[in-house]
Structure 1
Amino acid sequence: MNERVADDRLAGLFEEHRGGLRAVAYRMLGSVSEADDVVQEAWLRLSRSDVSGVDNLGAWLTTVVARLCLNMLRARRTRREDPLEAQSGPDGGPVVGPAGGLTGGADPEEEAVLADSVGVALLVVLDRLSPAERLAFVLHDLFAVPFEDIAVMLERTPQAVRQLASRARRRVRGGDAPRPDAPQRRRVVEAFLAATRGGDFEALVKLLHPDVVLHADRRVVPTPEPIVVRGARRVAEGAMAATGRARFTGVALVDGVPALAMAPYGRLSVVLTFTFDGDLITGVDVVAEPDRLRALEVAVA
């Protein structure tokens, strides 16, 4: 087999695995651009390696991608203590500052679609795990990689990896039992998000109590003082102005109660919690200050 044919065959084999590798990398990193960078680096390493003795190329590539993601997550934790800096751009979408450590060129629409398909709440919880916990949970629980294989990647025993995945699983599920009225509240919160994403002003007003009060901390806008908005139509108008942000928002359990979490590129930046009177929202608390966000327990709804 000549060199050109061998290269073409290797490229073809890699393309067969590209989608799965990208899925692993995205769940590990929460960013399309970072995931694509990792997959590209995996191809470069494959093209420079002699894999003639590799029996399972998919497992070999998954190991490469996992280790690259692990290194990136560890570097991210040492580089960034605060949550991702995200503000609204001209179109209402997030503008990511240098603190996020993201590579450029990501398509916001693709980021939003992927976040929706994976689950914003899951991405938020994964971002709060240690790199080792995240690797163990993603590979085992989401992609059924055996603990023995993950142990080799982390240089730990299979039992230790099992414990990492177990701790991560508890964080994903949350420690607080949902309230008995959680399903009802979730339906209202989902309707709030759907109306905001769809720009349906009147549908949003119908979900709000006429005397609803919204509180937003200083980091949300930002402003010198916290913001207080009263009345259904005024609160709905403010929500309509955040339609772009809503693309990166999903329903989550926050301290055991259905809420909304905004996480552009998989990193929590804003949380909306609600109070209710029956099926009507009476209060909205918009949280963006890092200390307040860190104090919240976020789980998959």
Structure 2
Amino acid sequence: MDDWLVLRFEENRDRLRAVAYRILGSEPEAEDAVQETWIRLSRSDSETIDNLGGWLTTVVGRICLDMLRARRVRPEHPVGDHSPALADDVVPDPELEAIQADSVGLALLVVLETLSPAERLAFVLHDLFAVPFEEIAPIIGRSPAAARQIASRARRRVRGTPEPADVDVVRQKEVVSAFLSAAREADFSALLAVLDPEVVLRADAGAAAYGSSPVLAGAAGVAQQFSGRAAAAKLVLVDGMPGLVWMRRGEPLIVFSFTVVDGRVAAIDLRGDAEYLQNVDLVPLKG
């Protein structure tokens, strides 16, 4: 093993452990995430990594996101149980406990438990570790604008001020409903009215397989893409925010996530990736 690579990883270990612990709220899980990050690094071509610190943060973030999603499927840690069990003959390290108490308040961890995995990751990486949204976006499978919105929603919940978020949800539902209605009715003018002139549409490979353009910019082009083609789409909450889903035989095929700015759709992300569809939270809404 390259001694230089081992040294560089050890230089980043404390930061990676701090990131993982703040996301997961569990020391054993944080250690597991850091160890898995090292395994992935050791199996990668390090010569192709330009920014090792950023690469490691991205990898540990993805690992933590997978662990959070698995935890939601198979809950193992009750809220508030953030410390490993101590055997009777193990004496806690007061200095270590003081450092942990200072860096991660229990109250914050309890609040973080109420966030969705995407919200938790976006908030921790950006607000606590200053990771840019451009780097957070691919980890959670969203656009930078959507990642910013998710972090903002999480920030309001952490601060205990949910009212503005509720207003955002109501307004976004109105905008998405207007988009859906105009698309179903092939009302091109109504679509243009609800779309920001510089709206951007992005589709992953799964969504593109059903005929969606991978990237499309501009209200006219996006309106043309959807005009008369959303008859089977249904209004849902996508990870807590209003969006759409296209289903077949009861299974989601494409999820539509919207970024709404100033009452207009600024971005649409279409996701058809199988892993994403398996983990995304979808809750039906009435139109």
TM-score normalised to structure 1 length: 0.48
TM-score normalised to structure 2 length: 0.50
Which one has more relative contact order, counting CA pairs under 8 Å at least 6 apart?
1
